[in-house]
């Protein structure tokens, strides 16, 4: 089966995760549809230990070929769910042969080169989009298709290899993809999530992340007789936000720069709430950001009285580089594989999180590789056949490189 056939087959399966049911894995029973499909295909290929567990995680492995038993055990991981940000049901993929490099007309909308400058360099390729009414699902069914195609090529070509494990996960798009992953059973020295952007990309630095929620308690009295008495919770909330650095917002930062992001603000005189996410690549600066919030809470309570401001901080994930650095060869293998495929590695910090970061802190070092996809999570999503083929070539090269390690 060609990678195009696989990809078109997978994106038609409705697997959108459900953010309103994130306490259950999988969050939506429909995710089992693709999970069982992949389970069957892995068994047909002859992989061992193939299983789709009760949480829709799919696992399987190829034993090492004779003479490669001492090679590192390498894993490849992709997620099956699609983002709930836009409709993922009844996906109708459209194949644009020999794309002309111009704007692409869809139902009710246009993928404009002015909005997506990457389109220009895709001229001449076979472009795949949705029809405009749904997302495409290349995030991350391109990664799923690339892993499956890599396995097929390795098996059919008789390429020598160490033990290769694959894992397909549910609920990555709602932050729960790693929650039920069986790292011990997966049995790998390291792995790669195949869930990035442009082909040739390798990501191994991500944000340190936390949520930070302020609850402000006011004191409400008649406004006509409230001097030195009223505490307007909404105004105090505004005061809290004003105490943060004005340029430390997503709009004003990029690259390795972190931020405080005010996600929502609500309230009245009696009570107000501020919900932030806090991000930074530097662990030291990240910790300082959290301390800044605690200091603001202290100052507000000193000014208006103890208990005026409550602060709840929840750490979400940490920068995987701390776990990757001791085994940096996992990055070197990928860079070599990318260069062997005729590309120069694209290394950029992830301004977000990844299952790979979670898995790295669970004991499985796990950088992230590109899939050749663009504009994920919406109706403008697109991928090229040639990009997916190149990503598959990179995966095969990693297998070959690990066999020699």
Angle at 1 between CA 199 and CA 377, to 5 degrees: 45
Half-sphere exposure of 246 (CA within 13 A, CB side): 2
Gap between the Cα atoms of 17 and 402, Å rounded: 34
Q: Residue 81 catalytic?
A: yes
Q: Out of 18, 31, 81, 393, which one is annotated catalytic?
A: 81
Question: From CA 395, how far away is CA 149, in angstroms rounded?
Answer: 10
Question: Which of these is catalytic: 152, 172, 248, 389?
Answer: 172
Query: Which H/E stretch holds residue 339?
Result: helix 329-340
Instruction: Please choose, from the candidates 68, 346, 351, the residue with its C-alpha nearest in 3D space to the C-alpha of residue 208.
Output: 351
CB 356 within 8 A of CB 319: no
DSSP collapsed to 3 states, 23-73:
CCCCCCCCHHHHHHHHHHHHHHHCCEEEEECCCCCEEEEECCCCCCCCCCC
- Tally Cβ neighbours within 10 Å of residue 169: 30
Cα–Cα distance between 391 and 386 in angstroms, integer? Answer: 9
User: 298 with 264: CB under 8 angstroms?
Assistant: no
Whether 31 is catalytic is no
Of 272, 275, 311, residue with least CA distance to 294: 311
Task: Enter the tokens of residue 187.
Answer: 């049995």
* CA count, 13 A, side-chain hemisphere, 358: 18
Instruction: Give catalytic residues, as residue numbers.
Output: 81, 172
């Amino acid at each position: 089966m060609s990678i195009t056939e696989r990809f078109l087959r997978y994106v038609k399966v409705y697997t959108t995760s459900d953010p309103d049911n994130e306490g259950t894995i999988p969050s939506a029973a429909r995710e089992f549809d693709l999970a069982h499909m992949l389970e069957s295909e892995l068994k047909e290929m002859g992989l061992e230990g193939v299983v789709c567990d009760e949480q829709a995680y799919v696992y399987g492995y190829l034993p090492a070929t004779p003479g490669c038993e001492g090679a590192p055990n390498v894993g490849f991981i992709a997620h099956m769910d699609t983002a709930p940000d836009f409709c993922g049901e009844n996906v109708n993929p459209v194949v644009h042969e020999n794309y002309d490099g111009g704007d692409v007309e869809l139902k009710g909308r246009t993928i404009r080169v002015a909005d997506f400058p990457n389109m220009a360099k895709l001229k001449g390729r076979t472009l795949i989009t949705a029809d405009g009414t749904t997302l495409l699902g290349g995030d991350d069914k391109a990664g799923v298709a690339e892993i499956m195609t890599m396995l097929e090529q390795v098996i059919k070509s008789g390429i020598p290899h160490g033990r290769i494990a694959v894992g397909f996960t549910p609920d990555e798009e709602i932050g729960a993809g790693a929650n039920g992953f069986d790292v011990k059973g997966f049995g790998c020295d390291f792995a790669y999530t195949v869930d990035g952007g442009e082909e040739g990309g390798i990501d191994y630095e991500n944000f340190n992340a936390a949520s930070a929620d302020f609850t402000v308690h006011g004191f409400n009295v008649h406004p006509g007789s409230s001097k030195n008495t009223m505490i307007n919770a909404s105004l105090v909330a505004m005061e809290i936000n004003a105490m943060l650095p004005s340029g430390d917002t997503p709009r004003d930062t990029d690259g390795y720069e972190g931020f405080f992001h005010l996600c929502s603000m609500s309230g009245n005189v009696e009570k107000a709430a501020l919900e932030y996410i806090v991000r930074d690549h530097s662990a030291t600066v990240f910790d300082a950001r959290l301390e800044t919030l605690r200091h603001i809470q202290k100052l507000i309570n000193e000014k208006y009285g103890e208990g005026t401001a409550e602060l709840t901080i929840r750490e979400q994930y940490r920068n995987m580089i701390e776990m990757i650095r001791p085994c940096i060869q996992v990055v070197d293998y990928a860079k070599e594989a990318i260069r062997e495929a005729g590309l120069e590695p694209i290394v950029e910090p992830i301004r977000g999180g990844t299952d790979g970061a979670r898995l790295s802190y669970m004991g499985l070092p796990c950088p992230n590789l590109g899939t050749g996809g663009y504009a994920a999570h919406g109706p403008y999503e697109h991928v090229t056949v040639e990009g997916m083929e190149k990503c598959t070539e990179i995966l095969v090269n990693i297998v070959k490189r690990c066999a020699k390690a």
